[in-house]
Structure 1
């Protein structure tokens, strides 16, 4: 688990009960089935504090144990961005096939836009079929408004550049018109293969020609 796990346990230590904290950290560092079973039990026990669930879920997710999935998705949409970041790291390692769909649902929830940053970043890292359409959807919606959530728009732009899909060209062109997003959008466009961009431009031109002729 390395540095990410050490950062997590250092962060939660001040609020943790010492004896239980030591037990969970010890279990998290083990790789036995028994240790994972005990950590999984933490996730379903009532009245467990968040710090204990974080340790258990991160350890299980990093080990590829899908019993951590629901807890990690909850944490991915939590109000504490540091908690969201830890959950995203564990979910990326977990590789549960449900992750991309869940992250896409969180990212596109207009009532939770303020918490969409880590779902967007996770979708970029996963490179799943849902990734490009979701990032395009979120960025299009944000560009319509006054960009109160520009860090999330920036994450979409950067993600679309990393994914390099030609479907993102129109929305990246639109993002390039916004001064706060322009440098990132231009950099993202530069990462999309030239041939893909040329094909998109040619198709757009053909479409416009057909529309004029039909009109």
Structure 2
């Protein structure tokens, strides 16, 4: 967590523009480093207190989530689908550490949401990291939709293909076969197919067929 937290601190500090913000952030970091139950309660209040700046909510959610405090869950899920990719990365890392059983369902809902496809990259990657029961079905559904759509969103489709390759789930064989016919996905889909077809539960050709 230390390297990730240091990167978060450096990024947030660079975005602050007034002495008041810098002072407020120093106070927040003091709470983070306190590590007492009372400090954790104050961090949790940052998540729900009105008029808190986004950087404060992000920092508090990351710290609480990374230490397994499930009060950070809702804030982290909101940031996982945020328009700023760097915040999505931070949220995904904290959610992966959080250990909340709701995480995979939330990531699957974000990854499969057709009106948020542009922001699906980090939910997809989180699903792959979690290897939850929801992971492969969500990636399969998203890839099927993108292959059939007018706008294929190639970076998102490629993330689905690569994720399915990492998961090696034989249920993905039909959609990976379809994906391999698209030049933008052929190499990644062929590699993913090889992994899926090597799974012990993958269907085997009938003798002589």
TM-based fold match above 0.5: yes
What's the counterpart of residue 141 of structure 2? 137
What's the counterpart of residue 12 of structure 2? 12
Unaligned runs of 5+ in 2: none
How do 1:57-206 residues align onto structure 2 when only pairs under 5 Å count?
A: 57-192=61-196, 194=198, 196=200, 199=203, 201-202=205-206
Shift of 1:198: 5.3
- The answer to whether the 8 Å contact 2:173/2:197 transfers is no
Which is helix-richer, 1 or 2?
1
Unaligned runs of 5+ in 1: 206-215
Between the aligned partners of 1:195 and 1:83, the Cα distance in structure 2 is 35
Between the aligned partners of 1:5 and 1:14, the Cα distance in structure 2 is 14
Shift of 1:35: 1.7
What's the counterpart of residue 29 of structure 1? 33
Greater shift in the superposed pair: 163-172 or 140-149: 140-149
Shift of 1:44: 0.7
Shift of 1:133: 0.5
Taking only aligned residues, the RMSD between alpha carbons, in angstroms, comes to 1.6
Shift of 1:89: 0.5
What's the counterpart of residue 55 of structure 1? 59
- The answer to whether the 8 Å contact 1:100/1:130 transfers is yes
* Count of paired positions: 203
Greater shift in the superposed pair: 175-184 or 8-17: 8-17
